[in-house]
Structure 1
Amino acid sequence: MGIHQIQIRHDETEDRLLLRFSTSDGCEFRFWLTRRFTKRLWGMLVKMLEWDRAVQQQVDPGTRRTVLDIQHEGYARQANYSKAFEEPPREAPRRLPLGEAPVLLAKASGKKRDDGVQMLGLHPLRGQGIDISLDTRLLHIFTRLLREQVARTDWDVNLALHEELGEAAPAQDAQPRKLN
């Protein structure tokens, strides 16, 4: 099960972000992200971006930031943002393993597997969530989509890749494990 498409959009009525993942095997997962959860998730996502080998190989913090910025712009340009989120035909709807209603997220976890692939866990306070694998390219694309949608809200939140530019602090060597 690989990720086929990602959509993030702000729902003004709910004042939440609606996150949708469709998979290559015909499933769709829907989640609500609150302002509070998004702010806390962002710090973990930035740390996950910094786990990349090319970033970690840099000794100088300024060089690390530069490598991260170059990666972010390069990978983000590779995505097709003009293509609408594909809605399945009525006669062949997607499977919704977590149900039709979006799941309100309360917990997230991040870890790096031995093969370098990163795992992002998204879970509600109670009940079932998902653990998805994200390569570096997909992680950069996901963070860009998240930043763009948060910028369209009235949350007064600046999701930046570096501490001096916003609220998210650059990661040290410690890996984040959980967000509760």
Structure 2
Amino acid sequence: MNIHQVSVNYAPEQDRLLIRINGKEGGELRAWLTRRLALALLPVLNQSATAQMTKLAGPAAPAASLDEQRDQLLDTFQKEALLRTGDFKTPYEDRQGQPANAVLGPEPLLLTEVKVTLMSSGQLRLQMLEKLPGSDTVRNFQVMMDGQLTNGLLHLLHQSLNASQWLEPVAPANLTPAGSSEVPELAIEPAKPRYLN
């Protein structure tokens, strides 16, 4: 699939992130990303994006003069700047009625596993799998991403994680019993020490 657009949005009613990928040929791939998997994926994707940028920039050859060193630094800077640019202003084209892969079906995958592989070509391969207990079928798809797309996905993940507030400390919930306007007090007692003899 040649990727046209990627969208990552927090769905508060599901308390999940919805990843949507449009193909240039049409169709859409969709997958739910849970908090546990999103927080585990983020450092791996950050590390892989750094390795991908390093691979695409190429090895630094020893320079004979300061002018050549300056040229190499400028070249590396331009490559990194190119990788970090992305179009975040164009609205995502909604193609929910057109699954890119009929085998996957109309419902988004509930991701249970994501495999990230840096290929020798410099592209990053993401394999997204849904392995549900009690089900013999494994729904999955994979996408290949260049450096610009990888950095764009990271940017969208960070935005969605901020919107989800998953990275913030959890505040105690204020629970009110049905039919009551009173807010009950939550008494938290410190754990008493236990001694074993």
In the TM superposition, what whole-angstrom CA distance separates every residue of 1:89-140 from its partner, at most 9, and x where no partner exists? x9xx523422221111010111122222221111112412111101111100
The 2-side partners of 1:120 and 1:2 are apart by 14
State the TM-score, normalizing by the size of structure 2: 0.64
State the match for 2:191 in structure 1: none
Task: State the secondary structure of the residue aligned to 2:5.
Answer: strand
SS of alignment partner, residue 127 of structure 2: strand
Aligned to 1:29: 29
Please say if 1:6 is aligned against 2:12.
Answer: no
Q: For 1:7-35, what per-residue CA distance to the aligned partner results, in whole angstroms no more than 9, with x for missing partners?
A: 11110110000110011111211110111
- Larger RCO of the pair (alpha carbons < 8 Å, separation 6+): 1
Q: What TM-score, normalized to structure 1?
A: 0.70
Identity of aligned residues (%): 22
CA 1:110–1:128 in structure 2 vs 1: closer, same or farther (change >3 Å)?
Answer: same
Q: CA RMSD in A?
A: 2.6
C-alpha contact 1:150 1:157 (8 A) present in aligned 2: no
C-alpha contact 2:99 2:106 (8 A) present in aligned 1: no
1:161-180 correspondence to structure 2 within 5 Å: none
Equivalent position of 2:115 in the other structure = 109
Post-superposition offset of 1:154: 2.2
Q: Which runs of 5+ in 1 are unaligned?
A: 59-66, 159-180
State the 4+ residue runs in structure 1 displaced beyond 6 angstroms: none
Question: 1:137-178, CA deviations, whole angstroms, 9 ceiling, x for partnerless residues?
Answer: 1100110010011111121259xxxxxxxxxxxxxxxxxxxx
Equivalent pair of 1:118/1:134 in contact (CA under 8 Å): yes
Aligned with 1:80 (options 83, 87, 101):
87
- The number of residues matched between the two structures is 144
Does the CA-based 8 Å contact 2:56-2:122 persist in structure 1? no
Paired residue for 1:16? 16
What is the CA-CA distance between 1:54 and the residue it aligns to? 5.7
Quote the residue 1:122 is aligned against: 128
Distance 2:94 2:131 in 1: 29
